[in-house]
Each structure stands twice: as C-alpha cells, then as structure tokens.
Structure 1
C-alpha cells in the first residue's frame, strides 16, 4: 500500500465524506472501512452491538466520550472525524491479527495535522470568512490596488524622466553633429541674416556686405553657394561665422565714423 493508492481510495470515496460549515468532517461507514482497509461489515457490527455487546473498538470509542447510542446512529448519519481517527488507530495498532498496513499508512498521513485537517485538505475545504475578515480583505484589496496605482504612477514618472533625458541627449548629439557638419555655422543670405538679427538693411548695404562676405569666403577657401531670389535674382549664401564678422566690422566702422 502506497500513498498513491491511498490517494486513489480518497478519490473513490470522496462523495461519501463531507465537511460542514464549521469545518467538522464525517464519513460514511463504507468510506471509513475503505480508509481502514477492512470489511465494511466489521465496522457495522461494532456500531450495531455497541450497547449490548461492545467490542474492543466500541469500548475505545466510548472511552473517548462517545455514547453507545451515538454509535448506532453513525450507520445512518456518518462517522465523525474524531471517531474515524480512533477506528483507524485501532486497525493500525490494536486490532491484533486484524491490524493492517493500510490503516497504519493512513494514520501516519494525518497524525501530523489531525484527521479533521487532513480531510479538509483532501476535500479542498476552506474556512468561510467572517464579516470582519471579509471587510478586512476588502480593505486590504483596496490598499493593494492603491499601492499598485502608486507604483504604476511612479514608474510612469520615471519613464517620462528617462524619455526627457533621452531627448536631451539626442538634442546634444544633434547639436554636436550639426557643429561638426557645419563648422562655420549655418549659411544665410545677407538679407536673411539681417532679418534673423532684427536689423533693417537696404539693397545698397546688402550688396556691399555681400561683396565683403564673398571676399572673406574666397580668402578662407569657402565656396559660396548661390540660390534664386525673387527680388535680386541670384544671391549668395554665406557661413554664419563670415556674416558675423561682416556685420560686426560694419558696426565698428560706424562707431569710428561717429
């Protein structure tokens, strides 16, 4: 007899074992006999004759507080879990030649936790929650949900911060890449650069500055790019660094003249 076989027996007699709302268990005479590994008739005989001719097993049951009249009712109402434990112990150790290894194995299976807990476990019974426990569970659930939401919000903030840091780094990379690709700065026309700086410039001044910018570009070996302009036809595009120098020198000239 193995634990696997005991499990199979439990499965076969499961419908004949029940647990009430308070957790107390009971089993039919047949189910108890199957657990003890004995003939059902032997247990029935013990229960039927408990008052007139009590057997050794009946005496053991009565020594544990059961009345002889109760034993007879068990045939119909089922055997209480405590009585099942006594019956199993009897057939495991005290029944002399009727002792059997199955009863000992089942005894060992539930001795550590008790027959009631053992049956509850086998039937998957769980103690019903009281109103206080239910309320506490709901409060705990709400607290858990709130905690999850807080953690989720924190993760979202962290993600937003990480995204901002990534965008900042990308911006820095773009600036550095732009600086590398255009070491002299971006290119503008004379009028375009003046507008960017918020300056008013006449066509004459624009032409003069264009000539200066072209001269500086030739001196520095920078090729001047030409684009179409609806007002002037073709105009040159000059690096920002050159235009800064041209406009700065013009400001200095005006300051000296004044």
Structure 2
C-alpha cells in the first residue's frame, strides 16, 4: 500500500465526509471502512454491540474515548465523528489482531500527525476566521509534506531492496559457477592445474599424454569433457578430480 493508493481512496470517499460550521467533521460508515480497508457490514455489526451485554473490543475502546453507547449506535445513520474515525483507524491498524490492516496503519500514521478533523476541514475547504495576517501552512500541505516523507522512505527501502537483489544475484552467479566446476566425482581441473595443485612438475608432453588418458576414462564412464580456453594450448579439457587421481596414480605406478 503506497501513499498514491491512499490518495486515491481519499478522493473516492470525499463525497461521503462532511464538516459542520464549527469545524467538526464526520465520515460515513462506508468511507471509514474504505480508509481502514475493512468490510463496512462488519464495522456496522461491531458498532451495534454498543447496546449489547457483550460489546466488541472496538466499542469498548470508543466508550473509553468518551463516546456514549446510544451515540455509537446512531453512527450508521448520522455518520462517525472525526475523533472516532481516528480511534477506529488506530484500532484496525494496531489493536485488531489478525484483522489489522496495513492500509489502516498507513492512514492512521498520516492522519495522526495532523488530526483527522483538520484533514476533513481542509479537504472540504472549511477555514477558520483569520486572526492573523500571517500565512500559515494549511493542513493539506502538512499532510502532503508527511506523505512526501513517507514516499522518500519507501524509495529508500526500494533502493535497499534493489541492492539486496543485486547482491543475491551475484551470490547466485557464484553458486552457479561452483556447480559448474563441481560434479559428484569432485572438482574439475585441467591436467596442468591438477599437477600444480599437487605440487608436481609436468612437461607439455606428459600433460598431453595424461590428458588423452583422462579423456579416454571420461568417455568410458560417460562423463562429458568440458573445454576451456588456455593461452598456451588454445583449449584444454577439464576433468573430474577422481579421474585425474586415477590417471596420475597410474602414471606413478
């Protein structure tokens, strides 16, 4: 869920929010549910427990915030007060357990910084009578600034993910190369490379002879011989370690 998606949702629910002359905002059940990314019917069902003996955890939270049970019950017709909207977003962002949504958390983080009431006021063009000639930053501008900061954080995380992907790709390339030179018979070496690894001196003639023996053993065992470029010989074969051990052991006997 990105800030762009949050902005799109806000635009979609704009017709379902209102602000009165005193600046108090309200949002419909559907608008609040869209902000929290929850089912509107489920939200209504939860709020209706306000007059039941067994209240939902959300209703208990709202009552602790100072709302009356009868008042909560009427929100499906009258709309949800802005302060209650903030409480509902916080509940579904952090307190609803497995029903928590990432969208509610993002919306809560953004709106808590400036207040849902101020956001609704500015979104609908409500302004408090000016008491100063100084021009202050509007609440929407504050929200935009917060959204920009969150977008920058998202970009930073994206860059970190890209770097991690590049590192993983390099590690994968190393693993592929290791798999290429490893077989069930062991590592693969050229004749000269294996001799150097064993601390043995070998002439070009001996290397050629042992290479032919190694090739014959590979063909006999059905092992494919890999060829690589060599600055001295043009191309040389790579043979499994087990084959080269047999070739060199035979030569010493």
Which residue is equivalent to 1:60?
Answer: 61
Deviation at 1:68, TM superposition (A): 0.7
CA distance in 2, matches of 1:91, 1:40: 13
Alpha-carbon separation, structure 2, partners of 1:56 and 1:123? 32
In the alignment, the residues of structure 1 paired with residue 31 and residue 14 of structure 2 have an alpha-carbon distance, to the nearest angstrom, of 8
Large movers: runs of 4+ above 6 Å: none
SS at match of 1:26: strand
Q: State the 1:33 CA deviation.
A: 0.3
Residue 241 (structure 1) aligns with? none
Q: Which residue matches 1:49?
A: 49
Quote the residue 2:74 is aligned against: 73
Q: Counterpart of 2:125?
A: 124
Q: Is the 8 A contact 1:29 1:43 kept in 2?
A: yes
- TM-score w.r.t. length of structure 2: 0.50
* 1:75/1:85 CA distance change after superposition, 3 Å: same
* 1:123, distance to aligned residue in structure 2 (A): 2.5
1:14-29 equivalences in 2 (<5 Å): 14-29=14-29
* 1:27, distance to aligned residue in structure 2 (A): 0.4
RMSD: 1.7
Give the Cα–Cα distance (whole angstroms) in 2 for the partners of residues 92 and 103 of structure 1. 5
Q: What whole-Å deviation, never above 9, does each CA across 1:96-117 have from its counterpart, x for those lacking one? A: 0000110011011111111111
Please say if residues 21 and 127 of structure 1, whose CA atoms lie closer than 8 Å, have aligned partners that are also in contact.
no
CA contact (8 A) 2:47 2:56 kept: no
Flag the structure with larger Rg. 1
* Preserved CA contact (<8 Å) 2:19 2:121: yes
Q: Provide the rounded CA distance (Å) in 2 between the counterparts of 1:46 and 1:34.
A: 16
In structure 2, stretches of 5+ residues that fail to align are 135-253
Structure 1: 5+ residue stretches without partners: 141-258
1:35 aligned residue: 35
